[in-house]
């Protein structure tokens, strides 16, 4: 019965194709419910099933048992499901701008770039060159003191002392009172 429906579907019978889809609908729904990353997983799996029905040479399969054909289709749907799980979802670019144009637009609208430049200039005015370098790398860039000490070929103690001295200078410059015993 299934082999006849497959042959009829290959010859162009829409009715046979729909009957086969209805027969495998529970499996399609099962795998579609597990695919949450696709836009329309049920339709994608259904298209895979239709493609399988139309393109597979069913006469070349030696076994004429209906269960073998059913098993073949189920395994094919399972493999299609696995393929969809392993591949990352395609993100559609909804913008009509190129990447360069988007970057220029976003950077022109960005306020933080200008603020960072102003902050750096103010820090350079207040601090010595070495203190600025230490504050820039440890406070603004978040690099550890050990990394900076190795980069500058000095001890971590030297880095921490200069950082504390620089932060005290900045506190005095900006009029911020620091509490005793609070490390930064």
pLDDT of residue 28: 87
Distance between start and end Cα atoms, the chain = 78
User: Which conformational region is residue 13 in: left (phi greater than 0), alpha (psi within -120 to 50 degrees), or beta?
Assistant: beta
pLDDT of residue 163: 93
pLDDT of residue 112: 57
CB neighbourhood size of 148 (10 A): 22
CB 49 within 8 A of CB 24: yes
Q: With respect to CATH, is domain 2-86 assigned 1.10.1740? A: yes
pLDDT of residue 134: 93
- Residue 34: name the closest of 70, 73, 78 by CA: 78
pLDDT of residue 161: 95
Q: Is 112 exposed, middle or buried (0-12, 13-18, 19+ CB in 10 A)?
A: exposed
pLDDT of residue 165: 94
List, in sequence order, the alpha helices (H) in 56-111.
66-86, 99-109
The CATH number that domain 108-174 falls under is 1.10.10.10
Give Rg (Cα) of the chain: 33
Per-residue pLDDT of the chain (184 residues; tens, 9 = 90+): 787 888 888 888 889 889 988 998 998 888 888 876 667 788 888 998 899 888 888 777 777 788 888 888 899 888 888 887 777 655 555 667 777 777 777 767 765 556 677 788 888 889 999 999 999 888 888 889 999 999 999 999 999 999 999 999 988 888 877 666 555 5
pLDDT of residue 38: 67
Ranges of each domain in the chain: 2-86, 108-174
């Amino acid at each position: 019965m299934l082999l006849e429906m497959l042959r009829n579907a290959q010859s162009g019978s829409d009715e046979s194709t729909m009957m086969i889809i209805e027969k495998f609908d529970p499996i399609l729904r099962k795998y579609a419910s597990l695919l949450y990353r696709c836009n329309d997983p049920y339709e994608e799996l259904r298209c895979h099933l239709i493609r399988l029905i139309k393109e597979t040479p069913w006469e070349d399969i030696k076994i004429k048992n209906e269960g073998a054909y059913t098993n073949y289709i189920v395994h094919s749907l399972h493999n299609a499901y696995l393929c969809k799980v392993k591949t990352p979802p395609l993100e559609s670019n909804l913008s009509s701008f190129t990447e360069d144009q988007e970057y220029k637009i976003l950077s022109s609208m960005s306020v933080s770039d200008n603020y960072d430049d102003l902050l750096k200039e103010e820090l350079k005015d207040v601090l010595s060159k070495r203190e600025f370098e230490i504050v820039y790398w440890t406070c603004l860039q978040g690099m550890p003191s050990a990394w900076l000490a190795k980069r500058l070929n000095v001890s971590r103690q030297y880095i921490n002392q200069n950082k504390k001295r620089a932060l005290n200078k900045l506190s005095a410059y900006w009029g911020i009172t620091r509490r005793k015993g609070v490390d930064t």
